[in-house]
A and B are shown apart, each in its own frame.
Chain A
Amino acid sequence: MKTRILGITAVLAVVAATLYGLFGVPADLNQGDAQRIMYPHVSSAWLAYLSFGVTALAGIGWLIRRDLRFDAVAVASAEIGVLFTALAIWGGMMWGRPVWGVFWQWDDPRLTTTALLLALYVGYLLLRRLSDDPARRATRAAVVGLVAAIDIPIVHFSVIWWRSLHQPPTFLSPDKILHPSAPLPFVLALVGMLAAFTLAWTWLLIRRYQLARAELAREEAIRGGLVRRARSAPRPVAVGGDEGSVAQSKAPAEAAR
């Protein structure tokens, strides 16, 4: 019930933030209306970072505690992170074309490291499909999730470390978005969209976690069913005692000669 209320609140918040971003806040003096894409683009990028950070922490949780609930959180957050990374890239492309004149540029470190981030976590999700053993799968995924998380600070600081088309970081730089000179409607639009998307992310994470737990329970039921069936299956009856069964088992081998 609480999750349902959270979902409804998130929908209303995203709708309100979208309408405000599209029609409430004035157009940027230099970039015009294209700058409106910044609000969902930055919010998506923030949630991509958060998702992969949660995946890494949950992976550490699994490696220490060996509790599959951590692995369920990790996979849930990774899948949602892939979604938000793809949405952030899309938003960046739609903003970049009218402002930079190009959708994409492989020379740009922010764009390239973000594409790498997406590829790493798609790989993470694919890797999970390679094993049916939940413990082995969780261990492999935790290690990959930790290694892949190294790319998060690289993406974030790429615009500081290297020359880039991309502007410097917007969030985690409070002096920029909360600067006294920043017009209030722009700050409200960005903070409102961040809050709305974070609510939606929380709801998605809860539901995806529930799905991961349900899938694990189903896997265990299938495994348990197979074991029960194997145990209850009738055993082969030895005809004529042990010698007979030995003779039966030897017969095909002798026939093969």
Chain B
Amino acid sequence: MTAEMLAHDDELAIRFCGLSFATPLVLLSGCVGFAEEYTRVAGFSHRQTGAVCLKGTTGQARLGNPAHRICETPMGMLNAIGLQNPGVDYVVKHILPTLDFSETRFIANVSGSTVEEYVEVTQRFEDSPIDAIEINISCPNVKQGGVAFGNDPAMAARVVAACRAVTQKPLITKLSPNQTDIAHSAHCCIEAGTDGLSVMNTLMGMAIDAETRRPVLGNNQGGLSGPAIKPVALLKVHQVYQVAKRHNIPIIGQGGVSNARDALEFLIAGASAVGIGTALFYDPLICAKINDGIRDYLTRHQLRHVSELTGSLTLNSPARPPVSCGA
């Protein structure tokens, strides 16, 4: 019996964009390098995850931003890495062959400064063993591309359509929260052919050192992650789900997930899978704990499978109309 067959019997195993995930947990791009980094830690295993998103990859190698690249903030952190990566050719030739694809699903994260660069990188991954492609139109830390595309729904759709045209692999679009109407953007990306959505990337923020009167980050601004953004992310997942469910487009909910309860909340809001990022920095062994916590919940609530939770949110009754306090 293969690991995949076993996984299907498991209450946590899901299908996501046609792929088998052993659990709903997805390690997020930018948090785990090119996937092997966390395996340094004894007790960590990719088998505790459904998928691992590799670091954002561009056409050519990028050095990324100068230090400081990270800064702790109340219940969160800012980062401005700036897409440091060795370029897609190196990733396909030298990194993918070192990954053990029997352990989990590996998802490439594609970025670029132009639509053409997104297409070039996607094409390169199309001819590789990678399981799926995540389009990063929401990186807040590069001057061109990234969030500049993600905050314009028409532009986002152009990028998605262009990548769709060159790949048969599952295509997941990572949406930016730094826009007025994320649900509209989701709709445009679905129309353009995305198979799944990642909701959401980091919120743009700044930290200032009052003593020096300078921003702490070398890039001046960065992306906020961690528990501080969880309520924002939950609302975005809920909003996007209203659109996505009509098209059977699954969501990887993400933003400040630190424990099983957080993961459950994202599933209930409408996510089919749940991203783990900043929480790994505090506890590299957190995935096993979250999986156990979800199993406990399923048992307590007499649910047979984790997918039953997706979108199971029951909204409260709308507010009543104002009552006159007339004299």
Genuine A/B complex: no
Chain B positions near chain A (C-beta within 8 angstroms): none
Chain A positions near chain B (C-beta within 8 angstroms): none
